[in-house]
Structure 1
């Protein structure tokens, strides 16, 4: 362990002067957190006039926390394939971290750097712009290698060409042609590939395809009237020698409008607008083909709207890792110092999952389904294809220690690739469930994105569901869940009561999915492990869904699910501002062993799907509307017991809705939950059917 920076001033100065470690660390802190840290330091300095006294290196653990930041150096940990790991952390002196960051962000936890010596893993970046000869040479190398040598990235090579309904035609390739034309591909003699664009429209106004613009777009419009992002995407398309580009807002009839800061799709009644709506549904159902048959997807990763473009100026020195001399005497008897390169562990997660474009829900399927993605980042070009990830800093491919992260190799949707990745981490996964584990990984990532139109939750994922269906042996798709492992898929939980933008988790209106589906909630979600049916104490007996169209992966308008298990009455109580606990017969569920320390006497944790009030729960408990079902039992201290929390929402028809999940260990007071009810009480509980001690309830 080593002290790092005494004050925020020196940390910021070091980052500004180009220290690779301090710069990467400081960039992980959001602007809001940076402002709070500065305010805390100002308050501390006002309380102690004059510069803080210089302090020697700490002698004990307590003294480290008198410094703003400190580091921890570990030798060859966790099987990451690196020589050392350097971990950098805010100590927290003088800072109310709860006010700085209500959520536990990576920035305020340990920031990790991989340390390697005698290995050249990076390549120097020299250009000051992402629109440079160096930039284009790297992009062309990736593209040529992928097209010519990657088997997984070219599944359509020997199949007949497929084209979207509409494309933007840039002409026969002359660079001076400044007119583009919207074409109906069925009316044209088509040849050659097309590319696609992922972008954020933001609040900027720009030309779109609708009934008023169709004629002019088909006649041809000047490229100069396009927003900057579109113009630069067209330039890139021509650089790749491609004639056609597909852009969603210019190739699908748009049936939504801006309404201040909000955006809402209008389901309108006039005849022509009904046609537009029908076109939108038809084209949305083809998204899996649009992206999977494209030559390449261009991702405007760092552009908030169409005015910001693809290309950026940059400081190449900030991209080039600095070789340093590191003292390792305390942890390595064989040497005292090493010359080494430092690699930012969060490099890929910051540049790809953490970039602006990949927070858009629709882009998840654009990113996954395209055979290759050229990502125009805020400081460098990045590459994703089905065989490897790369960047200008790591042009050959990401090193192995990045490959072991969950964020990398995101486009590998086949079970074999996923199994190899898991086995490389020293873990095992059942080949039969690997494809379902991949799906859970996808929907968890999807839950960390945002939708402009709330009702698009399922249809924006529809393309991936269609792509995954053969992988799961044509399993039945049930509102974002696969039928074979429906029991485990019902046990998702909302990680926090906040969406990715900081607003509360919610079940938006209008309706878009039954409450038992994760798709009914906007919030960051965690899935339950996929298990065999024999491990569950619940069983899905039947289900039914209604759809807006014939597409069973698209918009859901209603539905129910019949679940069999042991139903029991539930009570809840507010322990703290954001923590709820379970009650059974008005007794708090927690370990009764007084010899246990307080932190082991917590009892099951209640994870509500959306925030609730005391008054609402008190009313429901008085009306005896709250119930639970234990989904699985275990004797292992290393596993938890998942408990499904239900509310009787229609007593006359005996219909239930899901309100959350509780999780508790086998020694966490669950004996109260497992206690058998007498037969008279069991038989009196509301349900569709009661037989042999089990209840069948209908959830909507």
Structure 2
């Protein structure tokens, strides 16, 4: 077989760098369409907006060109400006301290108000200012130039910078929500990387591939192009910038984000995502069947006649090189099977990532996007966030919920963890920032629902919120610089590692039903600001168990005298003595009815989920002080053999003695 390739001309990709006039023309089109047509994006959710304390004012002057010194760059105090000015925000990776060439300090704040030399700024900052002027704006907020930074050369200024940081960090959500658009240096991992990059022509332009062989009557042709479905995930979601924990908040609270990726420019807002390859945009979809009329992904097939080739060229078509099977495959279970071989686990992660972040090319008008992001059929963490700050999950709505609304696809806890899971994968330089970097999102959800926030979970949904688990293996306990935990051990924020919730059906079109709730919350200490003192009193069936066993792939426990693994255990962290740990018990929370993902097996499947706890202190005999336990992990009876013995194990869990216990924030053991 002989393959020949020809690159076709493409008017949208013939420009080498992402700072061309044509790029900014496209960016202005996206911005204009969003501002004119997207009611959701033009609102600000529940955020109480106030101008940032400081902004950068930039003016190019009469003969300014991109990349050259603007006429004016200076810091302004917004209390001395008009209150309705429009500004951009900037999201970027700082990289190592050595690359931060210039930043705002207590000792240079006066000079910054007089003027800033463009040449002193990092490449990221220079490009952000170029983008600001090219988009037609005069103000931009850049964290390192608008918040006083720590000055290692002046010990006396440390307290000044600390107080300024504390004050400004509380406003971070308002800063990004109030910006007209956030410019993001998405493809760069440091301040020297810059926003603008040269692109590979081969990655962007449709490629005509000729195929011939000795048995073919005539040569065949196919068109191939970079896979559109994976493009946004690969070059935005998984880009260097979005590996930072702080960026999740910046990205979600921003009404619009203009991403400068390593290979292309992208748009993201509450109604749509778009790219240079598909400037009209994508929408997030949840189900495989939503893709039946979509041309990405699809098997392009062979174009066997010259007429076919000519027609394809006239239409400007580019086909993705992807299998039809990819479109038909069903979403995998939410939780990985620990007994699966490593290769199967890798396939699970790939499939799950695909369906959680799936994008569909959308040819409809942007005006049709109004309010769609809160539709239950929209996927992705941005859609989840919009649903959380809608009115469906308010205190009043929660009062009338039935059993099917507490768990399942659209339950508050599942939607909340659709935001928490990607955030938990992000990296933070300071462990103490684990919850601080989420505060803007927390404030938004709290205003919408009037729920009470407790260390990363919600008091009104505590039973379901406590059932998080380490989805990709045990994490590491997060301690601050003083050796103190950053969150109670019953909170997902207490560990470093990816976390998730398993209250979803195994099939995307069906739901999961709560058959029985086995526990109640007796009391919660919601006033303390100390993770060690944050306690939860719970009443429920508590069953003593032996230490979990590890078979090289998964952790399991035996329930009763079944003689086999009755439940899977997902430890939060692994300690050297976990296999010999004494005083362990299972506290069962819910009995759930699941439906299998396999279309041929439709019978419900009962599952019990709960927590694995360790006894750390005995209560008094008079009952005034309960036994004190600490969370060790999460268990589920799913993924075990369906037999009489498994049913017996579940019955043993349900019939265990009901006790009231205290879940401690941290035992220190």
Partners of 1:658 and 1:177 lie apart in 2 by 57
Q: Name 2:242's counterpart in structure 1.
A: 358
**1:153 alignment partner, SS class:** helix
Q: Offset at 1:380?
A: 0.4
- Structure 1 gaps, min length 5: 5-9, 21-121, 259-267, 328-335, 424-428, 499-503, 549-554, 591-601, 683-692
2:374 to 413, 417, 425: 417
How high is the TM-score relative to the length of structure 1? 0.66
Q: Offset at 1:527?
A: 1.2
Q: Name 2:587's counterpart in structure 1.
A: 629
The 8 Å contact of residues 655 and 699 in structure 1, kept in 2 or not, is answered as yes
The 8 Å contact of residues 547 and 557 in structure 2, kept in 1 or not, is answered as yes
* Runs (4+) off by over 6 Å: 17-20, 412-416, 530-534, 676-679
The 8 Å contact of residues 298 and 375 in structure 1, kept in 2 or not, is answered as yes
Q: Name 1:562's counterpart in structure 2.
A: 537
1:527 equivalent in alignment to 2:501: yes
Q: 1:143 to 1:569 in 2, by over 3 A?
A: same
Partners of 1:655 and 1:254 lie apart in 2 by 43
1:475 equivalent in alignment to 2:446: no
Q: Offset at 1:518?
A: 0.8
Q: Offset at 1:182?
A: 1.9
Comparing 346-355 and 429-438, the one that deviates more: 429-438
1:250 equivalent in alignment to 2:145: yes
2:252 to 331, 348, 368: 368
Give runs of aligned pairs for residues 301-450 of structure 1, distance below 5 A: 301-322=186-207, 343-398=227-282, 405-407=355-357, 417-421=374-378, 434=410, 436=412, 437-450=414-427
1:661 equivalent in alignment to 2:634: yes
- How many residues get paired? 521
- Structure 2 gaps, min length 5: 213-218, 284-290, 298-353, 361-368, 381-386, 394-404, 505-511, 595-603, 620-624
Q: Offset at 1:557?
A: 7.4
Partners of 2:28 and 2:492 lie apart in 1 by 40
Partners of 1:170 and 1:547 lie apart in 2 by 45
The 8 Å contact of residues 610 and 659 in structure 1, kept in 2 or not, is answered as yes
Q: Offset at 1:308?
A: 1.1
How high is the TM-score relative to the length of structure 2? 0.69
2:477 to 506, 524, 528: 506
| RMSD, aligned CA | 4.0
Partners of 2:149 and 2:195 lie apart in 1 by 24
Partners of 1:532 and 1:560 lie apart in 2 by 29
Q: Offset at 1:163?
A: 1.3
Partners of 2:503 and 2:242 lie apart in 1 by 25
The 8 Å contact of residues 179 and 223 in structure 1, kept in 2 or not, is answered as no
Q: Name 2:117's counterpart in structure 1.
A: 222
Q: Name 2:311's counterpart in structure 1.
A: none
The 8 Å contact of residues 388 and 409 in structure 1, kept in 2 or not, is answered as no
Q: Offset at 1:242?
A: 1.1
Q: Name 1:194's counterpart in structure 2.
A: 87
Q: Name 2:366's counterpart in structure 1.
A: none
Partners of 2:584 and 2:522 lie apart in 1 by 22
Partners of 1:416 and 1:227 lie apart in 2 by 36
Partners of 1:483 and 1:469 lie apart in 2 by 11
Q: Name 2:520's counterpart in structure 1.
A: 539
Q: Name 1:183's counterpart in structure 2.
A: 76
1:696 to 642, 661, 668: 661
**1:449 alignment partner, SS class:** coil
Partners of 2:163 and 2:614 lie apart in 1 by 37
**1:221 alignment partner, SS class:** coil
Q: Name 1:671's counterpart in structure 2.
A: 648
Deviations 1:336-362 (Å, cap 9, x if unpaired)?
999666645322211121111011111
The 8 Å contact of residues 562 and 649 in structure 2, kept in 1 or not, is answered as no
Q: Offset at 1:321?
A: 3.4
